[in-house]
Structure 1
């Protein structure tokens, strides 16, 4: 399906509430996007690494054009960025200061947003949340692509709740944070998906019951739990692992963000 480039979250390409994920065969851009997203979210392309388009084209057996289009979508999510005359690089991990600031504003906005959603959400939106939760459960224990889909689903869930609040400024603020996929880069190789599913279910149950106080409490608990998961992987002895994909990555840039413990392979020609 077509996608407006301005849409910040691509889970099912920010479908309308009653739409389903595109059926196969997928477009080449979607296939390239899905593969790149999984490599970025699971850090097979390490933070700050050069993204070799020619190497990816050979690996995926497609032309460079859909890969470039997919990278443009990822750039809109701040997972990649383009340097003129150099090419694309993977975004650096969030700094501890970034994480503090993001959770500070999320705790200000999202619990109140959930309370409003409990009062104002349409039945259609509530059923979409239930369907989304089921789809995320199916992806929770899958491969790298499934993990990336789960991360997209988390973004989609928070987007739906924000939209259901009936306040477009809240929805725009949540979308503009571009936070969910970045958080899941820290949580790869943990059991965060199963924990998040349980927390989401408490939230959805409160929304279905139209219980504003319970929805607010469930969202706040979910955010605190998410922050605790982040803290656990940011300790000195438990930093995120950086698996290396030789065909697509280069040594991470050290110009921005924290130095990483593992280096990737040499840049392929781009």
Structure 2
């Protein structure tokens, strides 16, 4: 494994986390592959501390598994049933979260939502494979911001525990997936910015349905 060059972001730990996230989502680290702390530290040219911190974070998000006496490995791909159940849950609660947020979101939160849309759109213009992990992060932040602004802590906590976006982007890498998601996010963001409750609800419902249609052929074949 040749040395990797990490982009400057917030910290070494954040850089290592972002690089590993991108590799896991793009399947450059395939499910089941062992992830040695020592080898990763040498690969990134850092100490073991930020590598361990990144792996612990990725383990909490379900992308990395740790077994006693055998260390870390890339988590198996979730089953098709997991993805079907995830979409069923999202259909039940995310449209309502968007509707509630349209009537409650502050001006600062609306600006943050618009910023996330702009950042995701910019990522679709560059090296989409390299940017895919970052796009998945921003996608998750977009949905988490809406859920967090809806005023219902149970909705926000439920969606946070799913880590749905991280796993979904492992299913398929394709530019069209990101581009289509950006268009749908813009419609949701605009409806919330306008305070249009019903439009926010329907735009989120349409987004989740469209996402399921895009991904279903890929999770259908999973056991």
TM-score w.r.t. structure 1 length? 0.76
Q: Please say if residues 187 and 229 of structure 1, whose CA atoms lie closer than 8 Å, have aligned partners that are also in contact.
A: no
Counterpart in the other structure of 1:4: none
Counterpart in the other structure of 1:108: 92
Counterpart in the other structure of 2:173: 188
Matched, 1:93 2:77: yes
Q: Report matched runs for 1:135-214 at 5 Å.
A: 135-143=119-127, 144-214=129-199
Distance in 1, Cα, partners of 2:27 & 2:58: 14
Counterpart in the other structure of 1:60: 44
TM-score w.r.t. structure 2 length? 0.91
Q: Report matched runs for 1:1-270 at 5 Å.
A: 24=8, 26-143=10-127, 144-234=129-219
> Measured at CA, do residues 25 and 96 of structure 1 come closer, stay the same or move farther in structure 2, by a change above 3 Å?
closer
- How far residue 26 of structure 1 moved from its aligned partner, in angstroms, is 4.0
> Measured at CA, do residues 177 and 124 of structure 1 come closer, stay the same or move farther in structure 2, by a change above 3 Å?
same
Secondary structure of the residue that 1:228 maps to in structure 2?
A: helix
The alignment's C-alpha RMSD in Å is 1.8
Give the unaligned 5+ runs of structure 1: 1-22, 237-256, 259-270
Distance in 2, Cα, partners of 1:28 & 1:124: 29
Q: Please say if residues 83 and 219 of structure 2, whose CA atoms lie closer than 8 Å, have aligned partners that are also in contact.
A: no
- How far residue 25 of structure 1 moved from its aligned partner, in angstroms, is 6.1
- How far residue 87 of structure 1 moved from its aligned partner, in angstroms, is 0.5
Secondary structure of the residue that 1:88 maps to in structure 2?
A: strand
Give the unaligned 5+ runs of structure 2: 1-6
Deviations 1:95-139 (A, max 9, x none): 111111111111000001111011111111111100111111111
Which fold has the larger relative contact order, with Cα–Cα distance below 8 Å and residues 6 or more apart in sequence? 1
